[in-house]
Structure 1
Amino acid sequence: MSQNKGRVLIIAGSDSGGGAGIQADIKAVTALGGYAATAITAVTVQNTLGVTGVHPIPVAIVAAQARAVLDDIGADAIKTGMLGDVAMVEAVAALLDSAHDVPAVIDPVMVAKGGASLLAAEAVAAVRTLLIPRAGLLTPNAPEAEALTGLPVATTDDLRRAGEALLKLGARAVLMKGGHVDGARVVDVLMTADGETSFEGERIDTRHTHGTGCTLASACAVGLAQGMGLTEAVARAWAYVNEAIRRAPGFGAGHGPLDHGWPLREKR
């Protein structure tokens, strides 16, 4: 792993509760030894009980944040999260084109853990046509995969079918997340044109899973930024998130945050 790499530009929304969004992204990238820079797309009012307000940042300001980072600090990977609407998706697609040699991890965030919508309905089509073909890695959960493909996703085999459809839409790799699929074990499937790798573990009985999707995508992104191969980056990210769930601090009365910082304490 190169010590001169590891820069991740994160384009996503802010979570005032610190469990998801930009806050989770920065924590994950830092805990795994990378450097996080950001372009914030929205300020949300939220805690473990849910989202009660969203203030979008103007698209031109978001694009300017990203451009400022790329023109000076640079990036070894770009990770996207909450984008909000069609104009933001279009701006991000243009930005990815301008940084075409930088791998993009696209987390197609649509709904917050508490159920609040974080992506306008008309923007789903824009994600499908503009971002999926630009994704080095796409990380949908089952509901997001259903929205993007129109296919039902209730089983692991359904995940695979949806993953195949997303690869046909142009993603170079997809990590199909199985947390929403019923069963005693959670199975995530990494799929590329060359084959698939499954990541499987016992389902952890906890309500403290806020930000797992953001955290996993950013953990994958920093691995790619550090020069890891795709499967190696996803394997490390998967293990990191699994342990972060196990060590969740128990904050809040709702869907609580993970323990993002656990690797840092292990190194002491």
Structure 2
Amino acid sequence: MSLLLILGSHVAGSRVGGTLASLTLAVSPYQIDPVHVPTTLLGRHPGWGPPGGGPVPADVFAGMLEGIAANGLFALVDAVLTDYLASPEQISVAARAIDSVKAANPRAIVLVDPVMGDAPGGLYVAPDVAEALMTHLVPRADYLTPNLWELGYLTGTSPLGLDAIAQAAASLGKPGLVSSVMVDDQIGGLFVDGASRWLATHPCLDHPPKGTGDLMATLFLGYLLQARPAPDAMAAALAGVSYVVACAQAWRAPELPIIAAGPQAWTAKPLALTQLS
């Protein structure tokens, strides 16, 4: 069994953020136990309108992590997933927690999903949150999972084409899985680790529910915990995302159907991988 610490949003009525990650792990065949410390408490995704609720105060967020640490759980954490963080103060708390986990278990995997914005809307966190994320969390990451817009923001570029995307990702100095990469009528991910570049795509489906990036990051980290090579983990994760989105559209589901489709997402046939020169 693995223990995965999730630092991300709790959204009661939507399948996004840390809520989605917890549910996805709960239906995994790999016995991955989630420990979710919420950064926000919302009623629904803001894309539906006013979400209700609000951010968790940084001192409450810190106190929850202190309780987890006091129970000796940091030494048992096999991976940390950071998702949406609401304030620079929360990010400072998250950074300290990551340092404590790494001190207790240096083999723990840290995946930073730099949730900041997306096309076409752009930045949807405050600029000081984005700056704190880049300053404190990106350097602590073992893996990054930005979408294409976030990659551009992190690198101060507007990468177009696979070569430019790969160069931008490599400039961050961390292994990264870039999502929302379009190739003709396909969409998928580009995994970049130094000079190593791998592409996996699937047919693009119109108007997917919110949360596909959160689902991809969770599945990807789950497969990494099974010691899969990162490109293979990407291919399997994106296959799972494609499966769940297809189910949502077939069932006319407004949210990702994680409980109904999640178990099969974990066993979906991995997408074909293409190694780029």
User: Alignment partner for residue 253 of structure 2, among 240, 251, 254?
Assistant: 251
1:159-180 CA-partner distances (Å, limit 9, x unpaired): 212202222xxx2x1001135x
User: Structure 1 residues 118, 10: closer, same or farther in 2, change over 3 A?
Assistant: farther
Superposed counterparts of 1:42-53, under 5 Å: 42-47=40-45, 49-53=47-51
Q: Distance in 2 between matches of 1:144 and 1:104?
A: 18
Distance in 2 between residues matched to 1:110 and 1:30, nearest whole Å: 26
Q: Following TM superposition, by how much is the alpha carbon of 1:198 offset from its aligned partner in structure 2, in angstroms?
A: 1.2
- Structure 1 equivalent of residue 28 of structure 2: 32
**Secondary structure in 2 aligned to 1:178?**
strand
Q: Separation in 2 of the partners of 1:242 and 1:150?
A: 30
1:19 aligns to 2:11 (yes or no): no
Counterpart in 1 of 2:263?
A: 264
Of all paired residues, the percent bearing the same amino acid is 20
Shift of 1:103: 0.9
> Which secondary structure state, in structure 2, belongs to the residue aligned with residue 232 of structure 1?
helix
The 8 Å contact of residues 7 and 35 in structure 1, kept in 2 or not, is answered as yes
TM-score, with structure 1 as normaliser = 0.84
CA distance in 2, matches of 1:92, 1:122: 15
Gap change, CA 1:265 and 1:149, over 3 Å in 2: closer
CA distance in 1, matches of 2:229, 2:63: 30
1:144 is aligned, of 146, 150, 153, to 150
CA contact (8 A) 2:151 2:168 kept: yes
Query: 1:111-164 CA distances to partner (integer Å, 9 max, x unpaired)?
Result: 379959652211222221211111111000111111111100343333212202
- Partner Cα separation in structure 1 for residue 183 and residue 49 of structure 2: 25
RMSD across aligned C-alpha pairs, in angstroms?
2.6
Q: In structure 2, how many angstroms separate the alpha carbons of the residues matched to 1:56 and 1:203?
A: 33
SS, match of residue 35 in structure 1: strand
Q: Which residue of 2 aligns with 1:196?
A: 197
- Distance in 1 of aligned mates of 2:110 and 2:234: 14
- TM-score with structure 2 setting the length: 0.81
Q: For 1:204-243, what per-residue CA distance to the aligned partner results, in whole angstroms no more than 9, with x for missing partners? A: 2x32331001111111222233443333332322221111
Residue 157 (structure 1) aligned with residue 163 (structure 2): yes
Q: Unaligned stretches of 5+ in structure 2? A: 268-277
SS in structure 2 at match of 1:239? helix
C-alpha separation between the residues in 2 aligned to 1:96 and 1:55?
24
Higher RCO structure, 1 or 2 (CA under 8 Å, sep 6+): 1
- Equivalent positions of 1:72-221 (< 5 A) are 72-73=72-73, 74-100=76-102, 101=106, 102-111=108-117, 118-167=124-173, 171=174, 173-179=175-181, 181=182, 183-193=184-194, 195-204=196-205, 206-221=206-221
SS in 2 for 1:130: helix
